[in-house]
Structure 1
Amino acid sequence: MTYKAETSEEYIAQLPEDRKEPITKLDELIKKNMPKGLEAGIGYGMLAYYVPKSIYPDGYHCKPFPPLPFINLASQKNFIALYHSGLYAKKELYDWFVNEYPKHCKYKLDMGKSCIRFKKMDDIPYALIEELLGKMSVEEWIKIYESSIKK
């Protein structure tokens, strides 16, 4: 689902009641622990945490005007989605996360390439997400992006 918002507060205000608390908690957790250099805002209709143009002026993909995304957070129809580009781009990070997840949650991991889907609002592994946020720096993300994703 896409929400029209210009700030995280506007985004969260539009959410169903059962999503407001977990999204707020995740947003605060990400902002507090995201790699140094990232900025928070809205991107692609989601909460976005991205590499600003002041650090990476080339921007994202073939469209240089958006900043380089790194983490996104969204309330979808049936779940909360946390997108972490590092999970898609770095196999060791993905493997670490998949191995650690069962230690933090009682339900099975529901994950795509970079998308972690949380269907149970009471089983979001906040401590694991906090640890994930410290596993990749902005500099490492840019290096991986340029060497393996940006062609």
Structure 2
Amino acid sequence: MMQSEVTTPEKYLKTLPEDRREVMTAIRNTILENLPKGFEETMNYGMFGYVVPLSLYPEGYHCDPKKPLPFMNLASQKNYIALYHMAIYTDPDLLTWFTGEYAKHVKTKLDMGKSCIRFKKMDQIPYALIGELCRKISPQEWINVYEKQVKRT
């Protein structure tokens, strides 16, 4: 994983080659336009982060309570763009929905890990599907899922 040391999304974009910058900007804009109110964009783990801020969830992330609760991340890797969506990993119904919808939007096979969706063909990014995925879960719904399935007490 290529981790960036930059501290703002704008600086991160400036580090990318022009063709990758255009695609990353388009995905970022799709996320920002569709993410429910309450999530915030940050830089975390060397990539764009979309989090439940500490102001909404003061307990923070169980791995580091000083950090906000992660929800999604977006990164430009060497050979692909990675979109990490934590709820796909924790919600089987959401995963089923997404994998079924993906085939309706993109002709190539879905390349996915547990929470990581990899886009290798820059001309085949399903922006509308990414937007719909963003709208599926509110910050409070993510907190509920996190506390029930992810957080270890």
Q: Structure 1-normalised TM-score?
A: 0.97
Match of 2:104 in 1: 103
Match of 1:2 in 2: 3
Taking the aligned partners of 2:113 and 2:57, their CA distance within structure 1 comes to 27
Taking the aligned partners of 1:6 and 1:82, their CA distance within structure 2 comes to 19
Match of 1:43 in 2: 44
Question: What's the offset of the Cα at 1:17?
Answer: 2.2
How many positions carry a matched residue from both structures? 151
Match of 2:35 in 1: 34
Equivalent residue runs for 1:129-148 within 5 Å: 129-148=130-149
Please tell me whether residue 11 in structure 1 is matched to residue 12 in structure 2: yes
Taking the aligned partners of 1:87 and 1:145, their CA distance within structure 2 comes to 12
- Deviation readout 1:57-89 (Å, 9 max, x if unpaired): 111123101100001000011100000111011
Question: What's the offset of the Cα at 1:150?
Answer: 0.3
Match of 1:127 in 2: 128
* Structure 1 residue runs without a partner (length 5+): none
Taking the aligned partners of 2:5 and 2:151, their CA distance within structure 1 comes to 29
Question: What's the offset of the Cα at 1:41?
Answer: 1.3
Find the residue that maps to 2:65 and give its secondary structure. Answer: coil
Taking the aligned partners of 2:21 and 2:69, their CA distance within structure 1 comes to 26
Q: Structure 2-normalised TM-score?
A: 0.96
Taking the aligned partners of 2:147 and 2:52, their CA distance within structure 1 comes to 13
Equivalent residue runs for 1:20-31 within 5 Å: 20-31=21-32
Question: What's the offset of the Cα at 1:141?
Answer: 0.5
- Deviation readout 1:82-101 (Å, 9 max, x if unpaired): 00111011110001000110
Find the residue that maps to 1:26 and give its secondary structure. Answer: helix
Taking the aligned partners of 2:5 and 2:63, their CA distance within structure 1 comes to 24
Identity across matched positions, percent:
58
Question: What's the offset of the Cα at 1:2?
Answer: 1.1
* Structure 2 residue runs without a partner (length 5+): none
Runs of 4 or more consecutive aligned structure 1 residues displaced over 3 Å after TM superposition? none
